[in-house]
Structure 1
Amino acid sequence: MTHIRQPPITESPFLDKLVNGISNYYSDESFESSLGIGDGSNGGSSSSTLFYETNMTEETTGNYSLLSDEEQMERNIYIMPLYQQILWSFIFGTMVFVAAGGNIIVIWIVLTNKRMRTVTNYFLVNLSVADIMVSTLNVIFNFIYMLNSNWPFGELFCKVSNFIAILSVAASVFTLMAISIDRYLAIVHPLRPRMSRTATVIIIVIIWIASSFLSLPNIICSKTIVEEFKNGDTRVVCYLEWYDGVSTKSRIEYIYNVIITLVTYILPIASMSYTYFRVGRELWGSQSIGECTAKQMESIKSKRKIVKMMMIVVAIFGVCWAPYHIYFLLAHHYPQIINAKYVQHTYLTIYWLAMSNSVYNPFVYCWMNSR
């Protein structure tokens, strides 16, 4: 077999720290060795336009809806001044660039380093793929829609976009859970047989199948409608029409949002908190008793750093996604907030915060290695 020379990956300090951080945290051998352990191996409704979803009881013909004067005035609050559009475009554009770029670098580092092709790193690559989908296929198109209050991509991609929204987020969250469980088994139960690569691939496939099943209602219920203003202007709305009504009046969607919140937020928070708590307790409990040598003290410091980093991962996930899930639940009980004066800016902030969760992982790896 011809040996292919690996491209250099340590020419910049950032890449050097990043590759070492990934290697130290996610490489089975390196991670467990640093801990003194022997071998044993970023919701809610996808309707990102809830703050200006139309009430589908207007005068409607086919896929067209004629708005009254009062309803047209309500729509006008969503037309941003140019400087605000430029500002939000810069904020979201930066987030997409950093998230996609950072996660592509992570994938490249893993795939171009043979020693890093470990079981756990398969999960890492899957997480980065899901995060790239979140930051590109999800954010870009929904942001354009939110910014202009108009869906220019057609009904087919309306269905696809809403499907990808939940698919990518769920896959990212489920992969985070899988990583935490893998670390738990490796550290708390080091003598148990390690997960094989075949089993890892099967779990990754199950993650995507489960995520697809969870997102299936979005591709079924997504529709577009053309709203026509009395001055002749039109806009296209991409929305979810459930069997018992449109979004803000649908009991089915409320139940669906509760399920999404439980499965992609509450359950992952509980799972990761438990596994990382057990990991932390195992690490703190493994400290040397009595006088410590310099090497032992260094090992203890390394363990403390890893425990803190694990808690930061969980905290970042919780902080990023909490406002997003709360917003959709509140919007069902208090639909008047959808027409509040500054709801568009509020929602854009909440949406940016949730989607920005896909940015932080590469920086966490780098930060961990630099301390």
Structure 2
Amino acid sequence: MSNSTNSSECSSDMEWYIQLPFIVAFMAMITIAAVGNIIVIWIVLAHKRMRTVTNYFLVNLAIADALISIFNAFFNFLYMLKEDWWFGSAFCKTSMFLAPCTITVSVLTFMAIAVERYIAIVHPLKPRMSSKSILFSIALIWLISSIISVPNIFFAQLKKQEICEKTQCMLTWPDQDDDYSKLGFAYDVFLMVLEYFLPLTIIAATYSRVGLKLWGGDVIGETTSVQAIKSKRRIVKMMIIIVIIFGICWLPQHLYFILININNNINSHPHIQEIYLIIFWLAMSNSMYNPLVYCYMNARFRAGFKFIFRWLPCVQYDRGLEGSRGTVVWLRNSHTAINQGHSMATTSLDSYSKNCSQQQRLLKNRTGGN
């Protein structure tokens, strides 16, 4: 959302029966996105077993999705619905900054996960990322995203419509001429390439190589178990689905801003408000799908979600997994199952050894001690 329509004409508000479906759709999407991503953050940070390299990046993705759903989707939906900005100049600049920043954070995080998976699977002998490397990568992602989004802070401003008594939050570029700006168009193209086509191309190439390694019959490592390969495949499948969803959700948004720069008469279409609300909902809804995908495709995330929603009658939850500090035992104790299995195996071996010794003594007694 780098441009806004600058129209001198006053448009009437949508009828209530048209507004109602949009209100329900946006409120449901924002609630699912905000709650779902906050739960994802809690599942990873509150349970040591979940603190893997990939999951730390998923936390970064969840933070970006939570920010865009709470601070961008909600307020901009109200703005587009009423075509009047009620939230002041400072939040106008903040909202304009957050939109490209959080999107860039998401795509750069996708790229970081793809590279991490590529190294782990295609080059398994190379050392994995350390905690410091992960934190540095995440900080670098936010720094790059912030630098890219800084122009929106400088050029976002409020504009009064005296006739309608409404306020617009919009980008006004130095070369702004009515509704067109070469700088604005160049910035939109730059964002589309940097936030969409370039990263998705790199991610597609990376996962293609990973896919050939996992499904092409190549040996990942002599000590790699079948279960480990299946686990890697599940993670890669999950990330590919998430990236595909991102591509579908954001393509109409990017194309819309390119098209209105080429032909601003599009904004004169009688139903452009409804059309753009659908496009905007689709783009913002990307933030709610990721937690749903994690819950569906990952048993550990599913256990965490079941713990949070265990009070619902439709949720089947084993209360034996509930910890004393509001955590899930299965997620919190990283080595419990392994240690229990080891103890059982050790006990069985000890019992077997004792039985063998007793049988040998009985045999010696029967044969006269020979």
TM-score range normalised by the length of the shorter chain: 0.7 to 0.9
1:360 corresponds in structure 2 to 289
2:350 corresponds in structure 1 to none
Q: Does 1:268 align with 2:202?
A: no
Task: Kindly report the root-mean-square deviation, in angstroms, between the aligned alpha carbons of the 2 structures.
Answer: 2.1
Distance across 1 between alignment mates of 2:47 and 2:134: 19
Distance across 2 between alignment mates of 1:177 and 1:341: 40
1:245 corresponds in structure 2 to 176
2:328 corresponds in structure 1 to none
- Distance change in 2, residues 1:353/1:106 (3 Å): same
Partner secondary structure for residue 179 of structure 2: helix
Distance across 2 between alignment mates of 1:118 and 1:311: 18
1:98 maps to which of 32, 35, 45 = 32
Identity %: 48
Q: Number of paired residues? A: 295
2:187 corresponds in structure 1 to 256
CA offset digits 1:221-273 (Å, max 9, x no partner)? 011111122xxx50001111101005731000111001100111011211211
Distance across 2 between alignment mates of 1:217 and 1:163: 8
Distance across 2 between alignment mates of 1:185 and 1:138: 35
Distance across 2 between alignment mates of 1:193 and 1:287: 20
1:140 corresponds in structure 2 to 74
1:159 corresponds in structure 2 to 93
User: 233-242 or 144-153: which moved more?
Assistant: 233-242
2:358 corresponds in structure 1 to none
- Distance change in 2, residues 1:212/1:303 (3 Å): closer
Partner secondary structure for residue 286 of structure 2: helix
Aligned AA (1:348): L
1 or 2 for the larger relative contact order (CA 8 Å, sep ≥6)? 1
User: 239-248 or 305-314: which moved more?
Assistant: 305-314
Instruction: Output the TM-score relative to the length of structure 1.
Output: 0.75
Ranges in structure 1 where 5+ consecutive residues have no aligned partner = 1-44, 56-66, 289-294
Aligned AA (2:209): R
Aligned AA (2:271): Y
Aligned AA (1:228): E
Distance across 2 between alignment mates of 1:343 and 1:173: 28
Cα pair 1:160 1:219 within 8 Å, conserved: yes
Aligned AA (1:328): F
Deviation at 1:366, TM superposition (A): 2.2
Instruction: Output the TM-score relative to the length of structure 2.
Output: 0.75
Cα pair 1:247 1:253 within 8 Å, conserved: no
Partner secondary structure for residue 6 of structure 2: coil
- Distance change in 2, residues 1:284/1:247 (3 Å): farther
Deviation at 1:313, TM superposition (A): 2.2
Aligned AA (1:309): M
CA offset digits 1:90-129 (Å, max 9, x no partner)? 1001000001111111111111111222333221111110
Structural mapping, 1:21-100, within 5 Å: 45-47=1-3, 50=4, 53-55=5-7, 67=8, 71-72=9-10, 75-76=11-12, 79-100=13-34
Distance across 2 between alignment mates of 1:309 and 1:369: 8
Q: Does 1:343 align with 2:272?
A: yes
- Distance change in 2, residues 1:305/1:202 (3 Å): closer
- Structure having the higher Rg: 2
1:316 corresponds in structure 2 to 245
Partner secondary structure for residue 127 of structure 2: coil
Ranges in structure 2 where 5+ consecutive residues have no aligned partner = 220-224, 303-370
Partner secondary structure for residue 93 of structure 1: helix
